[in-house]
Amino acid sequence: MTFLDRMEAFEKRITELEAENKRLHDTVAYLTKQLFGKRSEKTSSLSEGQVSLFDELPPVFNEAEIEADPKIAEPNLQQEADKFAKKRYKGQRKDQVKHLEHVKKVYHLVDAERSCETCGTELVAVGEEFVRSELEFIPAQVRVIDYYCETLECRTCRKNDRPYMEKAETPDPVILHSLASPSTLAWIMHQKFVNAIPLYRQEAEWQMLGVTLSRATMSNWLMLVARDWLLPVVERLQQELLKEKYLHVDETPTQVLQEEGRKNTTESYMWVYSTGQYGEHPIRLFEYQPGRGGNYPKKFLKGFQGYLHTDAYPGYDKVEKIIRCYCWAHVRRKFVDALPKDVQSTEATVAAQGIQYCNQLFEMEKALRNLSADKRYKERLTKQMPMLVAFWAWAESSRQAILPKCKTSEALLYALKYKEGLMNYLKDGNCSISNNLAENSIRPFTIGRKNWLFSGSPKGAAASAAIYSLVETAKANGLSPHRYLEYILGDLPGVPFRQYPDILDDYLPWHPDIQKKCSSSKTSK
């Protein structure tokens, strides 16, 4: 090997090491940001009207010179403050509490002070002056309901040696031979699955109320009522979900103990299936499965035909007869993750441009939210298609100028690789530009997971999935999850829904009676 060949080999190796060093540096910066940086993906520095990473920053001192106008009068600071105070607070407190019960409390002078200090004449009441309003908190109360049924006897038949007796009917219990009531169970579910309070903390709260209620007992209660009363409603909701044409799917890992043939540290998954953004009846269904394979959504979505909004996970390709719509929020997230600390670098410029393209698409989409599906379809082709054509041309040209294996290059390759799926939302006006709907639906589960860490058994995980399904579907339909759960548990026991499945239609969250009785409106009773 000649000297020139060795020099060329050394230079090539140095270039490779520099690229490797850059990649490792970017990886460390990315992981540090994930651990200690902001979780929000908002890029205020890139929003309209503010500084962009690829726009030239004008000198700060020029702004004061250009905007200055000696003819403008000085502002009246006190007047501005008074205006703000009136705008901010006038009537606000009354609006916050107008739907609550008001108790009038009048303070009277004691008898020794009800005379005139000047002449001693007894004072006469002439009116009352309002002083203030306060919000009073009344702690929860626990009581025991003892059920009795009246027994009646026919005395005439008794005299004729033909005993005849009648007993009044009592409502069926939600759990046989148990102290559990619909209100108690609904509150436990609300605390855990809405407020993310684990059972061990609820155990301590019950103890403070004078009730010894162990977490094991509460867990058993939840599994029983989920199996007997909640799961039939969830299965009915699944039948309605499969009739839809536009669905969203997402999944997140969870830890489940006592899975047969698996270690406790093995990852399981909670899946969420949601109806589309523009559907008539919102449905959010959760399903626990021990893995992430594509056979799970294939089985769950058997019979569904239409548009499936997902991330780029290839497992969803196993679902048959669907058109996959990939998520533009994931594309934007890739560019956000690629933003380096060095804002002067080429990678920073490219990543910022990618974010700007995505931001403009989402802004265009906001303006179409209240249009009909047909108008939304036409507006997308008219306004968003040119933007998308420009984006793909920019992505192709930028990829050639960026070092491979860096975060920015990965973001560009991700977008180009899934171009077809990212463009599919243009085919129908009822499709969505992102899968944020499913991600937002599964977020309450991920928040709760941080508190209780794992499910104690597969049965417990399946029960959690059923309860989460009804809680999130209730929220999406404007219901109070607590009222909805209490209504189902109080009304469904004793109803022959297994012989007459159509009865379950009366318990779906959009049924008029359910909307009236379980509304989340503050004024509803």
pLDDT in tens, the chain (525 residues): 677 777 777 777 787 777 777 677 767 766 666 665 565 666 554 444 333 444 433 333 344 444 455 555 555 555 655 555 555 555 566 777 777 889 999 989 888 888 888 888 998 988 888 888 888 888 888 999 999 999 999 999 988 989 889 998 888 999 999 999 999 999 999 999 999 999 999 999 999 999 999 999 999 999 999 999 999 999 999 999 999 999 999 999 999 988 888 888 888 999 999 999 998 899 999 999 999 999 999 999 999 999 999 999 999 999 999 999 999 999 999 999 888 776 666 667 888 999 999 999 999 999 999 999 999 999 999 999 999 999 999 999 998 888 777 888 899 999 999 999 999 999 999 999 999 999 999 998 988 888 777 788 899 999 999 999 999 999 999 999 999 999 999 999 989 999 999 999 999 999 999 999 999 874 444
* Three-class DSSP category at 40: coil
- Rg, the chain, Cα only: 32
DSSP secondary structure string, 4-17? HHHHHHHHHHHHHH
Q: Distance between CA 489 and CA 190 in Å, rounded?
A: 13
Is residue 289 in a domain? no
Residue 34: per-residue pLDDT: 61
Q: Distance between CA 242 and CA 300 in Å, rounded?
A: 9
pLDDT digits (tens, 9 = 90+) for 256-292: 988 888 888 888 999 999 999 998 899 999 999 999 9
Asked if 228 contacts 220 with a C-beta cutoff of 8 angstroms, the reply is no
Domain that holds residue 367: 328-434
Is residue 411 in a domain? yes
Smallest CA-to-CA distance from 340 within 414, 419, 403, 397 is with 403
Q: Which two tokens stand for residue 524?
A: 């509803």
Asked if 446 contacts 251 with a C-beta cutoff of 8 angstroms, the reply is no
The C-alpha angle 249, 254, 259, rounded to 5 degrees, equals 115
- How many domains are there within the chain? 1
Amino acid of residue 502: D
Q: Distance between CA 14 and CA 28 in Å, rounded?
A: 21
Where does residue 76 rank: exposed (0-12), middle (13-18), buried (19+ CB within 10 A)? exposed
Is residue 293 in a domain? no
| 171-195: burial string, b at 16+ Cβ within 10 Å, e else | eeebbeeeebbbebbbbbbbbbbbe
Beta bridge partners of 476: none
Q: Distance between CA 300 and CA 304 in Å, rounded?
A: 9
Q: Which two tokens stand for residue 96?
A: 């916050």
The CB-side HSE value for 325 (13 A sphere, CA atoms) comes to 26
Q: Which two tokens stand for residue 416?
A: 């180009």
Q: Distance between CA 243 and CA 45 in Å, rounded?
A: 43
Q: Which residue has the tokens 């908190």?
A: 137
Which residues are CB-neighbours of 309 under 8 A, at least 6 positions away? 246, 247, 248, 249, 276, 324, 325, 327, 425, 431, 432, 434, 435, 437, 438
Is residue 265 in a domain? no
Main-chain dihedrals φ then ψ at residue 333, nearest 5 degrees? -60, -35
Is residue 30 in a domain? no
Q: Distance between CA 481 and CA 518 in Å, rounded?
A: 8
Q: Distance between CA 336 and CA 414 in Å, rounded?
A: 13
Main-chain dihedrals φ then ψ at residue 214, nearest 5 degrees? -75, 155
Is residue 290 in a domain? no
Q: Distance between CA 319 and CA 324 in Å, rounded?
A: 10
Asked if 482 contacts 190 with a C-beta cutoff of 8 angstroms, the reply is yes
- Which pTM was predicted? 0.80
Smallest CA-to-CA distance from 331 within 315, 347, 353, 316 is with 353
Per-residue HEC secondary structure of 124-179 comes to: CCCCCCCCCCCCCCCCCCCCCCCCCCCEEECHHHHHCCCCCEEECCCCCCCCCCCC
The CB-side HSE value for 376 (13 A sphere, CA atoms) comes to 20
- Residues across the chain: 525
| 385-417: burial string, b at 16+ Cβ within 10 Å, e else | eeebeebeeebeebbeebeeebbbbbbbbbbee
DSSP-derived letter for residue 72 is S
Q: Distance between CA 21 and CA 279 in Å, rounded?
A: 49
DSSP secondary structure string, 84-115? HHHHHHTTHHHHHHTTS----------GGGSB
CA 329 to chain CA mean position, Å: 16
Q: Distance between CA 429 and CA 438 in Å, rounded?
A: 19
Is residue 134 in a domain? no
Beta carbons within 10 angstroms of residue 480's beta carbon: 20
Is residue 521 in a domain? no
Q: Which residue has the tokens 């969203």?
A: 248
